Amino acid sequence: MNAGAASLPAPDQRRAFLIVLDSVGCGGAPDAAEFGDAGANTLAHIAQACAAGRADAGRSGPLHMPHMDALGLGAAIRLASNDDVPGLTATPQGLWGAAEEVSAGKDTPSGHWELAGVPVPWDWHYFPDTVPAFDDDLLAVIRAAAGTEGTLGNYHASGTEIIAREGAAHLRNGWPICYTSADSVFQIAAHEDHFGLDRLLRLCRDVAPHLHGMKVGRVIARPFIGTAEAGFTRTTNRRDYAIAPPAPTLLDWAQSAGRRTYGIGKIGDIFSGRGVDDLRKGDDAALMDHLEDLVADALPGSLTFANFVEFDSHYGHRRDVAGYARALEWFDARIGAVLARLRPGDLMILTADHGNDPTWRGSDHTRERVPVLGARGTPAPSEAIGIRGFADVAATVSTHLGLGPTGPGRSFL
C-alpha cells in the first residue's frame, strides 16, 4: 500500500469515484489493427492538432489540461503509445498509467462492463453498412410493435442527418425511423408530439428483448421535435435499453455489501438499471454539477460511477477536433475544483471506455488503450501503475472500499 494508507479511514467509511470520460483514449492498443485502427490516438492527435494551430475554433494554442496532466495524463499517453503529446508534459503527481481491454469490442457497454469487472464473453452483433441494414424478419418485429405498416431509414446514419432526411416523411405517415451505426445498436427516432414520446419509449422497450437476443448491445430511443420547414432537433429525452451484464458488476458488489451507489449520466442505461441506488442525469455541465454535489455529500463507504458522454457524442463521432479540445479543457478546469474537495480516504479514478479519434477516418469509435489517473483525498506519493487491464480498475475500487476480491482484475493499490 502507499505511504498515506496508515491515515485512511476504515474501508467501510472510504468513498470511491469512478469517472469515465467517454471515448478519451490514448492509442497503443496492441490489437488495434484487427479493428482497422492501427495508429489511432484520440488524445495525442488532438494535442498535436492544437499545437499545430489546427484546432483554434473557440480556443487557441496547445492543449491546456493542467489538472489532469499533473495527475499523469501526458505521461500515461506516452506510456500507452509513445506518441508525442505537446502541451502535456507535467511530472506526474498522482497514480497514473494506462489500461487495455480484452473484450472484443470498442463500444460503450464493453468498456464500462469491463471497467466494472465483467469482460464481455460474447461477440456483439453489428448490422451491415448496406441499404437496407436490417432484414425483413427484424423489420416485421418493429412494425408489429409500432402498429405501423412500414418503417423509414433502415441504414447506417448519424442521428441528426437521418431526422433531417426522413423527418418530413415520418410526419406524413407516422412510421418510425430505424437506423444504426458502426456500434452494436438499433436506434429508433420519432417525433415527440406526432408519434408520442411515451409510445416511442414503449416501442423501444418492447423490441429490446428481441434485439438483445441477437446480441445487439443497445436499443436507443431518439425523440425529436420540430417541423420540416423550420428543421428538426433531437431532445434530451433519449433512453437506452441495454442488454444486461452477464454477471454482477462493481455496482452490484458494492450494493450487495450495503454501500450506497450513485450513478451519473448514462450509467443507469449502460448497466440496465442494476446496482444503482441514486441516478442523476443531464448534459455534461449538469453532470459535473452532480459530481461536485456528490463529492461534497456522498455517504461514507459509497461508490459514485459517472459517464461524461459529450466527448464522444458531440465531438468524436462528428470528427470535430476543436470541439473535442474545448470539451477536454472545460472538463479539466472543472475537475480541478472537484479534486480539491476530496476527503481523507477518498479515491477518484479518471479513465475512459474506448477511443474516438476525431482525426481518424469515418465516424466510428477507435480501438485504443485508455489513461488511468488516480487522485486520493489523503496525500500519497506519485505511483506509476504501468499498463493494466480494464478489469483492474474494478479490482482497485473494490479493494479500496474493502469489498473483497471479486472479478478477474488485480488491484493496483
Specify binding-site residues.
22, 312, 317, 353-354, 365
C-alpha cell at 342: 476530496
Q: At what angle do helices 284-297 and 321-340 cross, to 10 degrees?
A: 10
Closest CA to 241 of 201, 181, 277: 201
Residues 62 and 52: their CA atoms lie apart, in Å, by: 8
Binding-site residue positions for Mn(2+)? 22, 312, 317, 353-354, 365
Using left for φ > 0, alpha for ψ between -120 and 50, and beta otherwise, residue 356 falls in beta
DSSP 144-179: HHHT-S--EEEEE--HHHHHHHHHHHHHHH-PPEEE
DSSP 8-state assignment for residue 355:
B
Using left for φ > 0, alpha for ψ between -120 and 50, and beta otherwise, residue 182 falls in alpha
Residues 151 and 278: their CA atoms lie apart, in Å, by: 36
DSSP 8-state assignment for residue 217:
-
CB-CB contact of 399 with 125 (8 Å) = no
Task: Give Cβ neighbours of residue 62 (< 8 Å, ≥ 6 apart).
Answer: 47, 50, 51, 86, 87
3-state secondary structure of 411: coil
Closest CA to 349 of 310, 296, 291: 291
> How many angstroms separate the first and last alpha carbons of the chain?
6
Residues 392 and 253: their CA atoms lie apart, in Å, by: 15
